Each structure stands twice: as C-alpha cells, then as structure tokens.
A = this chain, B = another copy of it.
C-alpha cells in the first residue's frame, strides 16, 4: 500500500498508493522534474491517503491551491465493500475508460466527498495528483515588521511585486520565535534567531516575522524581484530588517525555524491548539482577544499565546501554552475554547481551517455549521455507511436521529 505507480511526463500526473509517505512522494516527483504541490510539517511521517482524508493545506496552498484542485483521481473502498475508481485506471467492468486526466466532466465528481471526510465515508486506497513542473529557482526572505499594519503592507507588496513566483507567506509572532530559540539545538539556526530577535518592536508591541518564499523558472528574474521587493520595503521602513537566503542550506535553516514552531511550543508546556480562518485584517485579533481574556483569569497567570500560520490564506494557528505544566486542564480548556471560538465566530471565521473536526470539534460543529448543510452531511454518512462502521464518532456525532439511525 505504499507503491508509486506512475508519473506521466507530459501531464505531471502522479499515481500512488494511499500509504505512500508524503516526503517519499515529494522526492520521487522532484527527481523527475515535477513538484508535488503539498508540503506540511509532518511530511516525514504522514501518508498521502491521510493528507487527502484530512484535506491537508500547508504552506503551498496559496500558490498551488488545495487538494480539491490538485487531486485528479482516486480509488476508494466503500464501507459496504465496493471498490470505486474515480478517474483512475483499472475498472474491469467498463469499456476502455479509466485513465487519469486533468479534465473529466462525466457526472458527479465523487472524489471530492472523500477529500477531508476524515475516513468517515470510505477508505482511500490510491491517489492521483497533478503536479506542476519543478521550479528551478528558490529564494526565501525572513522579514521583521514592527506592527501588523506593516505586515499587511508586505503582503500587498508581495502579491503585487512577487506575483506569480510567490510560493509561501508565513507569519510567526515573537512569543513563538522566542520559544523556538530557547529549544533550538542547531547552532546556525540559533544564531539567525539571535540576530532577528534583537530587533525590538515599537509602541509596546513585539515584532512580527514573515517567511516569504519565491519559486520560479528563471533564477535571475526571481532574485531580481525578491531583491527589489525587500529593498523597497526596507527603504520605506515597512520592515525593520530582512534577510534573503538563496542557497539551499540557508533556505533549509529558514524553513527549519518555521517548522520548529509546533514542536518548540510543545516543549514548553501543554498546548491548547486552534487552527482557524479569519479575515486577513483580523489575523492577529483573535490572539489579542484571547490574551485579554486570559489576563482576567487568575488560574494560569503565566499562560502564553503563540501565533503562527499561513498568512496569505487567513489561516492562523493560535496556541495557548501553559509553561511547565504538561497536563491538560479541562476547565481551562473550556475557558480557552470559548475565548477562541467566540472571537473567531464574531469575525465570521472558520473554527477549522485545515486540521479538520475529528472528535474534539464535533460538538462545536453543530453551533457553527449551516443547519441544512449538517442535515445533508448526516444523510450522506447514512447513505455511504449505514452501519456506522467507518471512524465512528468522528466528524458527526452518532446520537438521536443521526447517521446510525438510518441503519438498514
């Protein structure tokens, strides 16, 4: 279940078993001149089937789009045992049909139902994805801003001046990066953090840090875009400072800093994790409101709020950590839940941008999702899985007149 079956040299479509490790698939396509358009921190362990089942987003989403756009074929085993091939070779009951193509408008596009269904509707066994050509040039900038207003100016400038080569736009706050530094064992990355953390914010506001990546087909053009972008931002005082990495070692260091956010915060204490979508202007507002709530809560006076995430998508990872305390406190968890979700809902945000519902957000789903949409979800679950055997209790609660009550 972890074979890679094919990579079409013309279309860039790769076909692999669901059990293939994401990083293995990335390396396979890269060696053949194609970029797998998905990259997330857990690439070394997660599997492409799991990625599709959770509709993983990650750092390339803004440039290359999400899995609903890039997955172009799928094999699924349904709860009742049927195997369906969706735009994939191998159905023995049909005439000829079955290659994988970028475009196929032959009836309802069923594969999308399984993308993000978290395994509750069927088991994905094979995935086909359309890959763009591997860009041959990559640059990464680390930029320091003194305010969120400045961050928004950088975002606008990046869309305008870096345009089509912009491939990632990640934000990290000061609380997060100081924890990353505290737990950083790599000496070079420690020194980079030392350097960037010495800049101080103004007006009692800690600085914010941006990782901006470009990927393109012409090294000279790409670097010229990145250089003039950064120079202009610096000269007009939109950024306090900026560092550009062009060689793969230093690019790796910049990304390692970004990917250390999650594990470093976890080394500090128990982490109450949230993954939300909000209007981009309000990106830092949820954290600010949560801090405000926490300041009036005496039980955990040292709790810190750490924010990082995919700025260009309005997708913020908001994390509340209790330093030195590694056990979950249920009462505190409920309190933080209310603070975070209250702030997100007030802004018409989404309570789950890319991490899904699972079991822990199942109850809040009922409060936030369109009632008719929820009804349809329950009917779909009943239709596909009348005996409720697929990941029971995930996404939808099986109670009263819910999925399992349609049992046949």
Indicate if the CB atoms of B10 and A281 lie closer than 8 Å. yes
Q: Which of A15-23, A176-184, A349-357 contacts B (4 or more CB under 8 A)?
A: A349-357
Indicate if the CB atoms of A99 and B347 lie closer than 8 Å. yes
- Shortest distance in angstroms between A232's beta carbon and chain B's nearest beta carbon? 14
Determine whether A301 belongs to the interface, using a CB cutoff of 8 Å to chain B.
no
Q: With CB as the reference atom, state the residue of chain B lying closest to A155.
A: B10
Tell whether A313 pairs with B102 under 8 Å between CB atoms, given A112-B68, A369-B107, A379-B383: yes
Determine whether A135 belongs to the interface, using a CB cutoff of 8 Å to chain B.
yes
> In whole angstroms, what is the CA distance A121 to B110 when docked?
13
> In whole angstroms, what is the CA distance A161 to B54 when docked?
35
Indicate if the CB atoms of B314 and A370 lie closer than 8 Å. no
Q: Which of A41-49, A78-86, A251-259 contacts B (4 or more CB under 8 A)?
A: A78-86
Which residues of B have CB within 8 Å of A160?
Answer: 133, 217
Determine whether A91 belongs to the interface, using a CB cutoff of 8 Å to chain B.
yes
Determine whether A221 belongs to the interface, using a CB cutoff of 8 Å to chain B.
yes
> In whole angstroms, what is the CA distance A7 to B181 when docked?
40
* Identical chains bound together, number: 2
- Shortest distance in angstroms between A282's beta carbon and chain B's nearest beta carbon? 10
Q: Among residues 323 to 380 in chain A, which have CB atoms less than 8 Å away from a CB atom of chain B?
A: 344-357, 361, 365, 367-377, 379-380
Q: With CB as the reference atom, state the residue of chain B lying closest to A277.
A: B101
Indicate if the CB atoms of A350 and B97 lie closer than 8 Å. yes
Indicate if the CB atoms of A84 and B217 lie closer than 8 Å. no
Which residues of B have CB within 8 Å of A217?
Answer: 160-164, 225
> In whole angstroms, what is the CA distance A151 to B92 when docked?
34
Determine whether A165 belongs to the interface, using a CB cutoff of 8 Å to chain B.
yes
Indicate if the CB atoms of A94 and B371 lie closer than 8 Å. yes
> In whole angstroms, what is the CA distance A345 to B351 when docked?
45
Determine whether A11 belongs to the interface, using a CB cutoff of 8 Å to chain B.
yes
Which residues of B have CB within 8 Å of A96?
Answer: 344-348, 368
Q: Which of A11, A78, A348, A373 has the most CB of B within 10 A?
A: A373
Q: Pick from B54, B89, B91, B116: contact of A109, CB below 8 A.
A: B116
Task: Pull 24 A–B residue pairs with CB atoms less than 8 Å apart, ordered by A.
Answer: A55-B105, A65-B70, A87-B350, A91-B371, A93-B371, A94-B370, A96-B345, A96-B348, A97-B351, A97-B370, A99-B277, A101-B353, A103-B310, A103-B350, A104-B350, A107-B369, A108-B113, A108-B377, A108-B395, A109-B116, A110-B373, A164-B217, A221-B225, A380-B383
Spell out A's residues near B (CB within 8 Å). Answer: 8, 10-11, 54-55, 57, 61-62, 65-66, 68-70, 78, 82-87, 89, 91, 93-99, 101-110, 112-113, 115-117, 121, 133, 135, 152, 155, 159-165, 215-218, 221, 224-225, 277-281, 310, 313-315, 344-357, 361, 365, 367-377, 379-380, 383, 395-396
